Amino acid sequence: MSRELDETHDVSRQSWVASAKSHPVFPLQNLPFGVFSTGADDPRGGVAIGDEIFDLKRAIEAGLFAGPALEAAKAAAAPTLNGFMGLRKGLRAALRKRLFALLAEGEDSVEAHAFEATLLHRAASCTMHVPATIGSFTDFFAGIHHAYNGGVRNKRNPPLLPNYKYVPVAYHSRASSIHASGTPVRRPNGQRKRADESAPTFGPSRNLDFELELGVWIGPGNAPGEPIGISRAGEHVVGLCMLNDWSARDIQAWEYQPLGPFLSKNFGTTISPWIVTMEALAPFRRAQPPRPEGDPTPLPYLWDEADQESGAFDIGLEALIRTKTMREKGMPAHRLSASNVKHLYWTISQMVAHHTCGGCNLQPGDIFGSGTLSAPDRSGWGSFSELSEDGRTLVELASGETRTFLQDGDDLILRARAEREGYAAIGFGDCTGRIVPAVEIG
C-alpha cells in the first residue's frame, strides 16, 4: 500500500476552496469524478471539491493542464466517463496530482484561483447524472452475513448453500434501469403470492426493500476469451460508489425458481453519482479478514497473497430512512443500520478474476454490485427483509412510525465514509431514492 500513497493523501494540506476545508465528504484528498450539468448546459465531467464542482471542460479551456494530465482531463471532461475509465492508471494518477496541485493552497494553485468564478459551480445548483454508459451490471452476493441471514429465515440447514464459500456467486442484472441518486423509484408491478393465497395475483409490490451495497466501477477491460488473473485484477477497477439494488421481495419469492431474480430486480437500481477513485481510497486498504476455521481456501485462480494483504477496505456504511411524516416535522433521517465494507467475504479482485475466468470480457463503465453488506449483528443488517424478518417484526422509527418494508413517500439514503488516523476522512456522497406509487395497469 505504501507505494500507492503520495502527496495527494497529505492530511495537512487544505484547499483554497473555502467549503472544502475539513469537508466531511469531499475534502481536497478525495477528488472524485462525476458528470454534471448546469441549467441548459450539456452534461460534462467534473470533480467534487467541498460543496462545489470543479468544471474540467472550462479548466481545459483555461489552459490549466498539460501532458499526461491534459490527456486524462479531456477524457474526464466528456459527457460520459467511459473513456476516462479505460485509461491506464498512470494517466489517471497524473490528473489526480495536477488537480490536487490546482486546488490546494500554494503557488501551483494561483492560476486556477484566478479562474474561480468560471471553474466552480455550487453542487446544490447542479444536476448529477449516471457517470458512464453502463454496458453490463453484475450483482454479486458477497456479503456473507446477509447470505447467512437469508438461509436462516428460509430454514436451510446449514444456512449457506454448499457453493457459497467456494465461488463468488452473482447474477447479471439490468444496466438500463440504473439511475443517479435523487431519481424517484417507481414501485414495481408484478406477480406476487403470499403463503396464504391459493394463486398469484398481479399488482404493486407489497414488500419493497432496499439493499445496502457497494458499487464497483470497471476501468480498463479485457478482450473476449482472455481471463484477468487475480494478481492483475485490481488494475481493472477505477473506483467505487454506493449502490442500492431495490428489491421487490414478494415478486422475487414467486419468480426466482429456477433461474433467479427477474422483475423483482430489474425495475431500478440507484447509485451515488461520484466515482471515488482507487487512488483516493489507498489509505483505507486493509488485509482481507482471515476466513473462519474450517472454511476452504479459495481455489488457486482466486488466491493472491498481495490481494489478501491489502485487497480489502475499511469503509463505514449507513442506511437511513426519512418518511413523509419525518420530512413534514423537520426530523432528521432515522438510521436503520451501520455496517462496513470489511464484511465482504470475497475481495473485489476475486470478483473480477472469477467474472472473467471463463473468458467474459469486461468493458470500461461496467459496474458490479457487491451484494448486501450486512454486519454480523442486527444493528448492521442491510435490508428490511433482515430487519423485519421478512415482515414478521415491526421496525420502530424515531418518529413513532413502524415499517416492515418501504412505503410510498419514504426516502431511503445510503452513505459511506472512510476514516483512518493520520489521513483525511472521505465520503461517497448520498445514494438516495424516494418511493413513488406504482403505475396502474389495466
Dihedral sign, Cα of residue 353, residue 359, residue 361, residue 367:
negative
CA dist 304 and 306 (Å) reads: 6
CA dihedral 284, 285, 286, 287 (to 10 degrees): 170
CA dist 212 and 413 (Å) reads: 9
**Three-class SS state of 104:** strand
Alpha-carbon Rg for the chain, nearest whole angstrom, is 22
Task: Report yes or no: 84 and 72 within 8 Å, Cβ to Cβ.
Answer: yes
CA separation, residue 335 to residues 267, 291, 323, 328, 371 (Å)? 25, 30, 12, 18, 20
CA dihedral 424, 27, 29, 49 (to 10 degrees): 170
Task: Report yes or no: 270 and 243 within 8 Å, Cβ to Cβ.
Answer: yes
CA dist 410 and 16 (Å) reads: 38
Residues pairing with 354 in the sheet = none
Q: Which three cell numbers stand for residue 9?
A: 493523501
CA dist 387 and 173 (Å) reads: 24
Give the β-pairing of 178-180 and 201-204: unpaired
Give the DSSP per-residue string, 276-313.
EETTTTGGGEEPPPPPPTTPPPPPGGG--HHHHHH-EE
Least Cα distance to 26 among 432, 430, 442, 435 occurs for 430
CA dist 346 and 370 (Å) reads: 9
Which phi and psi angles does 140 have, rounded to 5°?
A: -85, 175
Task: Report yes or no: 393 and 149 within 8 Å, Cβ to Cβ.
Answer: no
Is residue 172 annotated as part of the catalytic site, yes or no?
A: no
From the candidates 146, 334, 354, 355, give the one annotated as an active-site residue: 146
Q: Is the peptide bond before 258 cis (omega within 30 degrees of 0)?
A: yes
Task: Report yes or no: 47 and 56 within 8 Å, Cβ to Cβ.
Answer: yes
- Active-site amino acid positions: 146
